[in-house]
Homo-oligomer: A and B are copies of this chain.
Amino acid sequence: MYVAIMGYGTVGSGVAEVLKKNHAHIVKKSLQDSLELKYILDLRTFPGDPNESLVTDDFNKILSDPEVKIVVETMGGLKPAYDFVLACLNAGKSVVTSNKELVAAKGIELLEAAKANNVNFLFEASVGGGIPIIRPIIQCLSANKITEVAGILNGTTNYILTRMFSDGADFEDALADAQELGYAERDPSADVDGIDACRKICILADLCFGKEVKPDSFSTEGIRDITKTDVKYAEAWGGVIKLVASAKAVNGGRNVSVCVSPALISGESQLACVSGVFNAILVRGNALGDAVFYGRGAGKLPTASAVVADVIDCARHLGRRKPFGWVKSPEGYVLPDDEFKGKFFVRCDSSFEEIADTFGKVEYINIEDPPENEKAFITPMITKGDLNKKCETLREVKSVIRVTDY
């Protein structure tokens, strides 16, 4: 059986490496006589690369070769990835991708095309890199109604925040270090502004709740505004700040409340221990309670290992469908941001009396040498809309950060 890879960058070359490194093991697991790489699609050439002879810039070679049963898409982006993947599915080939942007934006269309052609479209590597999360959600937790899914889905921001806590670094310095170490891009926006985490939580919400959540249907907030003072308060409270992406079923499952933003997490939480570039995903089920999946959320071989696991699964299921997916969501399915409900950490210069008048009883947090006049506290449960209104009446609001209950 033959496989093709589209896109010979970090993940694509990792896939080729894993296929070679664990070849006999993979063939056996695939229940095939053989499993060989036949083409690598890339516009670049790779002189001296062990797979040089497989590289082609002609997509039609892959598309028209009936021996290629499984195509790996590791190009990234929507164009031409979407057209290529759709064409492969329509040509009767199963497709495996690590491309979260593609799955978040076009998952429904591609799963439908896979169904129509009796092939599979799998994307375990699109969320959480090497961490097994998509298959556990579909299969292992199938006896549960999932009520919430949340996670630390971006390694770059988690590295930066970990540095801010462990070394007292400020955001800019920690970002510069992350860039030097290759954890952050020169333009770090997709990571630090939460765009990457946003795409991933959409995919998780799609799978957990069965209805599509579009990346632009809720607010996404990054970590640029987190300061050393916020870090001090979080430590005094006994917790940490993480970039948390979450989706929660509300109103009996008729709606979903989705949020990507920094969040205070209690030091007791399993998510609080997730350091550096690691990722973790928490799934809350109505029978199971909380389960957490932890591991390398990025990186060449970890991500490639998830891609190749999907390739093996496609090989085992040639001619048979793994039935899963989600449907278009009705208008108003994603709750407006104003209706997001939780506790919030607030820093402002109002007096104790003013704060009590506005919020009732709050939980104050004290640090050594706080900024003059400043009070920091955690509100009772409140909607974001109400919170925003109340904050308008406070003096000099410097931070508003949500607080998780996991």
Q: Mark A residues whose CB is within 8 Å of B.
A: 14, 18, 21-22, 25-26, 29, 31, 124, 130-132, 135-136, 139-145, 268, 270, 272-275, 278, 285-296, 299, 301-302, 304-309, 311-313, 323
A136 touches B140 (CB 8 A): yes
With both beta carbons as reference points, the residue of chain B lying nearest to A276 in the complex is identified as B268
With both beta carbons as reference points, the residue of chain B lying nearest to A146 in the complex is identified as B25
Decide yes or no: A130 and B287 within 8 Å by CB, A135-B136, A268-B275, A294-B294 being known contacts.
Answer: yes
CB neighbours (8 Å) of A301 from chain B are: 287-289
Q: Report Cα–Cα, A207/B339, bound state, in Å.
A: 46
CB neighbours (8 Å) of A288 from chain B are: 130, 295-296, 301-302, 305-306
Nearest-neighbour CB distance to chain B for A399, whole angstroms, equals 26
B145 touches A25 (CB 8 A): yes
Nearest-neighbour CB distance to chain B for A296, whole angstroms, equals 5
Most B Cβ at <10 Å: residue of A21, A136, A140, A289: A140
Number of copies: 2
CB neighbours (8 Å) of A311 from chain B are: 143
CB neighbours (8 Å) of A22 from chain B are: 143-145, 286-287
Give which listed residue, B141, B270, B309, contacts A141 with CB less than 8 A: B309
Q: Report Cα–Cα, A276/B102, bound state, in Å.
A: 40
Q: Report Cα–Cα, A288/B294, bound state, in Å.
A: 11
Q: Report Cα–Cα, A123/B291, bound state, in Å.
A: 18
The 3 residue pairs across chains A and B that have the minimum distance between CB atoms: A132-B140, A143-B308, A291-B295
CB neighbours (8 Å) of A272 from chain B are: 273
Most B Cβ at <10 Å: residue of A22, A26, A131, A309: A309
A313 touches B29 (CB 8 A): no
Nearest-neighbour CB distance to chain B for A300, whole angstroms, equals 9
B306 touches A140 (CB 8 A): yes
Decide yes or no: A305 and B144 within 8 Å by CB, A289-B295, A294-B270, A296-B288 being known contacts.
Answer: yes
Nearest-neighbour CB distance to chain B for A5, whole angstroms, equals 14
Nearest-neighbour CB distance to chain B for A98, whole angstroms, equals 13
B313 touches A139 (CB 8 A): yes
With both beta carbons as reference points, the residue of chain B lying nearest to A132 in the complex is identified as B140
Decide yes or no: A287 and B145 within 8 Å by CB, A268-B275, A273-B270 being known contacts.
Answer: no
